[in-house]
Amino acid sequence: MRLLVDGRYVQDHFPGVGRYVYGLVRALAQLGGPDLEIWLVVDPAARNTRFDLKELFAGGRLKPVEGPPVFHPAAPAALARLERRLRPDVAHYTHYFRPWVRGALSVVTIHDLIPLSLPESMPARTWRLVYRMLVWLAVRLSDAVIVPSAATAAALARHFPGLKPVVVPGGVGPEFRPLPAGEVENLRQQQALPSRFCLYHGSNKPHKNLAGLLAAFSLVADPSVSLVISGHVDPRLPRPNPSGPGADRVRWLGPVSDAELVGLLNAAEVFVYPTLAEGFGLPVLEAMACGRPVVTSAGTAAAEVAGEAAILVNPREPAEVAQAISRVLADRNLAKRLGRKALARAAEFSWERTAALTLGVYLGAAERASLKRD
């Protein structure tokens, strides 16, 4: 099989989608063997400080091909030309930006429908209409649709009835793991981390509910505990300012490397992720893989990922979020139980499993296409 994968999201601007593409293609290259030829579309001009593309291409099983910038108006036509030139058996568009015409047999991943399910996350109605049109085109022009969670599948069914997407959960790499206590303490000292802290890691997008997190932390009474916030910062979006009790105990780190993130997760007493909506919830999974107790949002894909290994709360109720945080901070036995459950739950996810299920989607789409031709 010759596979064309849209990897232009392996860059700083797309931390979550980039992680998905990077983890998927690395595992596909190992799983598929010599019978699977993978061309990865990359944007060499995009800023990329997070993902090691040299390591990705070092084995020779993945081949880079230069593609257009994600948001360039001519990108759909350029991708269609790439299809015609490379003649893949399957083209996998890993986000909803794809050619606007049918070409090769194609698969698309729809990570979430947050702008439609949570309109306040994209306030401008015009942009929501454009977004809806692009997603509609992507799913209608593709031969198979992948979603990362049952929550996203349900959202897709609400907004685009008649579709039958395949749920393929994301994975977590082996670098996310519990570290020895001495190594964690060295990291704490090197980065001048507080002796006790809660951690949030994610972007500053509206649906991540940072304002709600800050409101909740102001209700955490223990003065010895700080809140550390790390992750991708979109400069176009405002950053909420902490106020009230505990405002002086909030520390913003901004983007961190994966090695730094693993250290932060291991040093934190609790990982807090009160998202309003989620397509999957990679930060929750990565925290659990490090054995962290997790507080996250009920009724979201993050809860689907966490299963019974986290405390689930209403993210719109700061008092409820604060109470859950305080419970974990005050009850060492509870924290240990949650940590053990988290490790067990995270062990159910891997990029190898994601790749195997995704390969099954490719083969299923190819088989259906063959039957139609016959």
Check residue 299 and give its pLDDT.
Answer: 95
Res 372 pLDDT > 90 = no
Cβ-contact 103, 16 below 8 angstroms: no
230: number of Cβ within 10 Å: 20
Share of the chain above pLDDT 90, in %: 82
Check residue 150 and give its pLDDT.
Answer: 97
Check residue 236 and give its pLDDT.
Answer: 79
d(CA 31, CA 218): 47
Which helix (H) or strand (E) segment is 271 a member of? strand 270-273
Token duo for residue 263: 């250290």
Token duo for residue 225: 């505990």
Cβ-contact 206, 277 below 8 angstroms: no
What's the CA angle centered on 282, arms 9 and 364, to 5 degrees?
Answer: 70
Q: Encode burial over 354-374: b for 16+ CB neighbours within 10 A, e otherwise.
A: bbeebbebbeebbeeeeeeee
Cβ-contact 313, 213 below 8 angstroms: no
Q: Please state which of the ranges 234-238, 278-282, 311-315, 354-358 shows the lowest mean pLDDT.
A: 234-238
DSSP-derived 3-state class of residue 16:
helix
Average pLDDT, the chain: 93
Token duo for residue 208: 């991540």
Check residue 374 and give its pLDDT.
Answer: 64
Q: In what order do the strands lie in the sheet with 2-6?
A: 62-66, 37-42, 2-6, 90-93, 106-109, 144-147, 166-167
Confidence of residue 15 (pLDDT cuts 50, 70, 90): very high
Res 243 pLDDT > 80 = no
Backbone angles phi, psi at 155, to 5 degrees: -65, -40
151: number of Cβ within 10 Å: 25
d(CA 90, CA 38): 10
d(CA 6, CA 257): 23
Check residue 310 and give its pLDDT.
Answer: 97
pTM score above 0.85: yes
Cβ-contact 46, 11 below 8 angstroms: yes
Check residue 260 and give its pLDDT.
Answer: 92
pLDDT digits (tens, 9 = 90+) for 149-200: 999 999 999 999 989 999 999 999 999 999 999 999 988 888 889 999 999 9
Cβ-contact 210, 230 below 8 angstroms: no
Res 273 pLDDT > 90 = yes
36: number of Cβ within 10 Å: 18
Q: DSSP per residue over 303-331, as a string?
A: HHHHTTSSEEE-TT-HHHHHHHHHHHHH-
Alpha-carbon distances of 106 from 86, 100, 109, 328, rounded to whole Å: 14, 12, 10, 46
- Burial of residue 234 (CB within 10 Å: 0-12, 13-18, 19+) is exposed
Res 263 pLDDT > 70 = yes
Res 145 pLDDT > 80 = yes
Check residue 188 and give its pLDDT.
Answer: 87
d(CA 293, CA 282): 15
Token duo for residue 153: 């599948």
Res 123 pLDDT > 90 = no
User: What average pLDDT does range 340-363 have in this prediction?
Assistant: 97
352: number of Cβ within 10 Å: 15
pLDDT digits (tens, 9 = 90+) for 301-345: 999 999 999 999 999 999 999 999 999 999 999 999 999 999 999
d(CA 237, CA 258): 23
